[in-house]
C-alpha cells in the first residue's frame, strides 16, 4: 500500500543556503516597519505626565538601544544557525521541554495579533468618523473583518516576497513620509506652546525611571520570540544583527518620542484623535494604519512557524491562516485592555527565556547547533529560566527602584554563559 509522505518539520530544520536571500536592507526595512505602530506611540504617551520630558527621552533612547540590541543579537543566532525560534528553544531547553515555551509563544502571539486587529479597527472607525464615511458602532464588525481578511490574504503568499517586494519597496517609504509629516506638525505645535517650557516640564510622579525603562524595553523584547523566524533567511549573522538593531531602534525611538510629543502638546486627547487633529493627519494616519498590517502578519506568521514545530503535518501557511482567523474572532469578542500589565507580563517570561538562549548560544555556538543530539530536557537551562522568571517579579520588591528587565536579562545571560560548558554540548556538533 502507498504511504503518505511525512511532511518535514521546517521550523526545526535550518534554512538551506540557497534560500537565504535577506541582505542588510531587507532586515533593516522589515524591523523598522515592524517597529512603527500605533501601539508603540500609545505606550510612549503613557510615559507622560509621570516622567519629565528630559527623563522620558533619556529612557526612550536607552531602552530602545538595549531592547533593539537584544533583538539584533537573537537575530544573529537565528541567522548563524538557520533555525527558527522554536529550533533555538529545542537546542537550549531540550526537544520535549521546548514545547512549553513554544506553546506560550503561540498564546502570546495570538494575543498580540488580536491587539493589533483591535487597534487597526479602532483607528479605522476614528478615520471613518473624521471623514464622515462611518458613523456608529455598527461599523466595528466590518472593519475588524476587513483587516482580518487582509492578514489572511497576505498569509496565503510568500513571507520572503512580502518583505522584499512590498515592505521594503512600498510600505517603508510611505510610512517614513507619514512619520516625518506628523513629527513636523506636532513640533510646530510644540514651538507655538514654547519649546523651553515643554523641554523643562517636570514629571508628575507615579512611575519611576527604571519602571519606565522596563516599559520601553518591553516592546522590542516582545519581538524576541519572532526575530529568528525571519533572520534565519539572512546571508550573514553580523549583518542581521546590525540591520535589525538599527532598524528597530530607530523606529522605536521615533514612535515613542512622537507619542511623548503628542501627549505634551495635546494632553487631553487620546492618541488617534490627536493625530487626526494635525494638518494632513487623516492621510498620515491612514498610511501608518496600513503599515500596521505587517505587525499583525508578523504575529500570525511566527505563531504559525511555532505551531508547525509542534505539529509538522500541518503547513506553516495553513497554520497562519487559522491563527489569523482566530485573532479576528477574538478581536470581535474581546475589549481593548490596558497594555502595560500585558507587556510587562510577557517580558517576565521572555526576558529570562532569551537571556538563557543568548548565554548558551552566543559566541559562535549557534552555528554548531545539532538538534538531533539535543536531550529531551536540559534541566540546567530550564531551572535558570524559571529562576529568572521568579527574579523578574521578586527583584523589584526586594530592591525597590531596581527595575526588572535589565537585571533579569543580565543575570540569566551571565549565569547561562558561566554554566554552559557541558550543558550545551549535547545539542552541538
Per-residue pLDDT of the chain (429 residues; tens, 9 = 90+): 444 455 678 888 899 989 899 999 999 999 999 999 888 888 888 898 889 999 999 999 999 999 999 999 999 999 999 999 999 999 999 989 999 999 989 988 888 888 889 888 888 888 887 766 666 667 888 999 999 999 999 999 888 888 877 787 777 888 899 899 999 999 999 999 988 898 988 888 878 888 888 888 888 888 999 999 999 999 999 999 999 999 999 999 999 999 999 999 988 777 878 888 777 778 888 888 788 888 899 999 999 999 999 999 999 999 999 999 999 998 888 765 555 566 667 778 888 999 999 999 988 887 788 787 778 899 999 999 999 999 988 888 888 777 788 889 999 999 999 987 654 444 555
- Tell me what percent of the residues of the chain surpass a pLDDT of 70: 92
Q: Say if residues 252 and 38 touch (Cβ distance below 8 Å).
A: no
For the domain 25-339, what is the CATH superfamily, name and number?
Hydantoin permease (1.10.4160.10)
Q: Give tens-digit pLDDT for 222-276.
A: 899 999 999 999 999 999 999 999 999 999 999 999 999 999 998 877 787 888 8
Q: At what angle do helices 53-81 and 209-221 cross, to 10 degrees?
A: 30
Q: In 82-157, at which residue ranges do the beta strands (DSSP E only) sit?
A: none
Could you give the CA distance from residue 82 to residue 60 in angstroms, rounded to a whole number?
32
Chain centroid offset of residue 395 CA: 25
Q: What is the pLDDT of residue 429?
A: 54
Residue 395 CB neighbour total at 10 angstroms: 17
Q: Which residues contact 115 (CB under 8 A, 6 or more apart)?
A: 39, 336, 339, 342
Domain spans in the chain, listed from the N-terminal domain onward = 25-339
Q: What is the pTM of this model?
A: 0.91
Amino acid at each position: 500500500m502507498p504511504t503518505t509522505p511525512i511532511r518535514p518539520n521546517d521550523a526545526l530544520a535550518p534554512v538551506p543556503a540557497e534560500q537565504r536571500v535577506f541582505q542588510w536592507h531587507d532586515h533593516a526595512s522589515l524591523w523598522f516597519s515592524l517597529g512603527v505602530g500605533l501601539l508603540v506611540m500609545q505606550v510612549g504617551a503613557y510615559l507622560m505626565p509621570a516622567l519629565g520630558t528630559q527623563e522620558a527621552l533619556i529612557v526612550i533612547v536607552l531602552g530602545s538601544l538595549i531592547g533593539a540590541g537584544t533583538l539584533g543579537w537573537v537575530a544573529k543566532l537565528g541567522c548563524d544557525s538557520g533555525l527558527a525560534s522554536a529550533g533555538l528553544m529545542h537546542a537550549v531547553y531540550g526537544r520535549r521541554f521546548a514545547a512549553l515555551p513554544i506553546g506560550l509563544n503561540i498564546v502570546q502571539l495570538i494575543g498580540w495579533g488580536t491587539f493589533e486587529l483591535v487597534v487597526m479597527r479602532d483607528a479605522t472607525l476614528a478615520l471613518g468618523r473624521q471623514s464622515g464615511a462611518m458613523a456608529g458602532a455598527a461599523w466595528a464588525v466590518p472593519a475588524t473583518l476587513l483587516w482580518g481578511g487582509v492578514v489572511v490574504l497576505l498569509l496565503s503568499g510568500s513571507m520572503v516576497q512580502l518583505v522584499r517586494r512590498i515592505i521594503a519597496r512600498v510600505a517603508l517609504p510611505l510610512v517614513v513620509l507619514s512619520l516625518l509629516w506628523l513629527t513636523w506638525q506636532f513640533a510646530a505645535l510644540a514651538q507655538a506652546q514654547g519649546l523651553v517650557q515643554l523641554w523643562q516640564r517636570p514629571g508628575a510622579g507615579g512611575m519611576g525611571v527604571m519602571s519606565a525603562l522596563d516599559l520601553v524595553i518591553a516592546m522590542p523584547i516582545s519581538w524576541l520570540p519572532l526575530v529568528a523566524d525571519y533572520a534565519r533567511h539572512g546571508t550573514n549573522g553580523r549583518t542581521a544583527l546590525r540591520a535589525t538593531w538599527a532598524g528597530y531602534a530607530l523606529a522605536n525611538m521615533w514612535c515613542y518620542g512622537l507619542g511623548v510629543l503628542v501627549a505634551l502638546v495635546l494632553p487631553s486627547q487620546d492618541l488617534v484623535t490627536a493625530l487626526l487633529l494635525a494638518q494632513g493627519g487623516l492621510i498620515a494616519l491612514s498610511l501608518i494604519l496600513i503599515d500596521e498590517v505587517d505587525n499583525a502578519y508578523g504575529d500570525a506568521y511566527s505563531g504559525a512557524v511555532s505551531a508547525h514545530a509542534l505539529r509538522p503535518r500541518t503547513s506553516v501557511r495553513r497554520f497562519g491562516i487559522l491563527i489569523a482567523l482566530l485573532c479576528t474572532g477574538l478581536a470581535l469578542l474581546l475589549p481593548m485592555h490596558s497594555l502595560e500589565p500585558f507587556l510587562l507580563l510577557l517580558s517576565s517570561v521572555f526576558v529570562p527565556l532569551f537571556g538563557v538562549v543568548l548565554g548558551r548560544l552566543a559566541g559562535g555556538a549557534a552555528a554548531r547547533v545539532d538538534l538531533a543530539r539535543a536531550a529531551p530536557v536540559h534541566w540546567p537551562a530550564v531551572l535558570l529560566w524559571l529562576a529568572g522568571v521568579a527574579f523578574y517579579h521578586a527583584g523589584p520588591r526586594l530592591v525597590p527602584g531596581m527595575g526588572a528587565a535589565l537585571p533579569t536579562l543580565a543575570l540569566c545571560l551571565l549565569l547561562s554563559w558561566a554554566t554552559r560548558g557541558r550543558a550545551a554540548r549535547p545539542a552541538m556538533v
